[in-house]
A and B are shown apart, each in its own frame.
Chain A
């Protein structure tokens, strides 16, 4: 069983890559379904907004507390704004948003497409000479890629607000130094790093969600398992890509 594992993983990697190429080939034709793409941005993005904002706020507040505790040991608590902003923009924002997206929107995408498979809707499209990758998968994939960077930006902004709330409001860090040091230290390249990461995570999480749904076994248990696989593989993939991108940006 263990000896089969590398071969199985390689096979799956190959299958996912081929599926990604198939989606890429259909992305341009899929843009004709403008309403569908907008609907998917709404489903994946707007409907994840509350959970992303809530998590962003609390993670920012925790960052404010921990950051203050650490920085005041060196007498540099005025740098709290820089620490919070860089931590959120470059790392926590993209990663946590991707994990939240996988759990909230990715599972929903997988189960939706999986149920379409189980109820013969995808087969019916194929028999009507309509490519389900173009009609169903590509709009959802595009929606995910657009939604994740937007959600990440909102997460980071709310997170910084949360850190400011705790650092300035609760711990007494001077508001002027909190914001001015942040302004002085955060570069455009830092924002770009976060943006590129969030786009890559959006591709990875959306890809795993649509792949697992499209290839789900057409049974209730099969769709359930596919949903679980989406969360696990999206989370692992996000963290692996995060390490690689962080190493590349250093």
Chain B
């Protein structure tokens, strides 16, 4: 792989919060123009990893390179310049509740560019058309369903024509139709526009359908990496448990706790 093909490079990353280790020696890479998925059980720090990638929080050790720039040591100005090249879809959409759908999508354009109003209007309507919500342009976020809000947030994420789109749990809480729409949109944005895509998710089926490369995280490190097919046939127990949705295994069903019987007997009525 050519080094210039790498858009994101995470090396030897250590991150801890209040003494609790989240990542130890994490390494992963995302190639230009491809869909890279980061998967793992809930609580493995997938969203935290995205916040690290975007420079919102800083690791204790290791490096994060985004577009070849060291995100950890970037000042606010260059960091904001880098973020303008990236679109991000939040788990809950994070739409601005006092703005209409149209104004939400127009928000980055109004903030960063001085476009004539007719041109801005056309751009916004084109992005809303791409997510199938041109007809909802005048609606307010509180009147949208979860799936619609996610699609509006996607239109906002792509309105600046980013080179990279980061999706944080894009399939959570969606009905099958909305989920199918989002899967198709992620795939078509990648294929037609060549947008590099990073998806954080724990939805195995959907990720397997679209990802070119998958990283499986567990206990603060990458436990498996490869194509979805390679991961499906991997022999490692933790990979097998996750990919097949087994309730117990290397990732225990129970959160660490003192002995059950002793705790019940020791506690008074």
Contacts and interface: CB of A to CB of B under 8 A. Distances in A.
B83 A129 contact: yes
Contacts of B92: 119-120
Interface residues of B, number: 19
Contacts of B94: 119-121, 123-124
A130 interface: yes
Contacts of B86: 127
Contacts of B81: 129
Interface of A: 116, 119-121, 123-131, 135
A135 B99 CA distance: 13
Interface of B: 54, 56, 80-81, 83-84, 86, 88, 90, 92, 94-97, 107-108, 111-112, 156
B84 A127 contact: no
A120 B56 contact: no
A128 B96 CA distance: 12
A128 B97 contact: no
A123 B56 contact: yes
Contacts of B97: 116, 119, 121
9 contacts: A123-B56, A124-B88, A126-B56, A128-B83, A128-B107, A128-B108, A128-B111, A129-B81, A131-B80
B107 A121 contact: no
B83 A127 contact: yes
Contacts of A128: 83-84, 88, 107-108, 111, 156
Contacts of B90: 120, 123-124
Q: Select the residue from A116, A121, A128, A131 with max chain B CB neighbours within 10 A.
A: A128
A116 B111 CA distance: 18
B56 to A, nearest CB: 7
B88 A130 contact: no
A127 B56 contact: yes
A128 B90 CA distance: 12
Contact of A135 (B54, B83, B111): B111
B96 A127 contact: no
Nearest to A127: B88
A129 B96 contact: no
Contacts of B88: 124, 127-128
Contacts of B112: 129-130
B69 to A, nearest CB: 14
Given A120-B92, A121-B94, A129 B56 contact: no
A130 B96 contact: no
B250 to A, nearest CB: 32
Nearest to B85: A129
Contacts of A119: 92, 94, 97
A130 B95 CA distance: 14
A222 B80 CA distance: 29
Contacts of B84: 128-129
A94 B83 CA distance: 44
A116 B81 CA distance: 23
Contacts of A125: 96
Nearest to A128: B108
Contacts of B54: 127
Nearest to A39: B98
A127 B96 CA distance: 13
Nearest to B86: A127
A128 B113 CA distance: 13
A136 B226 CA distance: 43
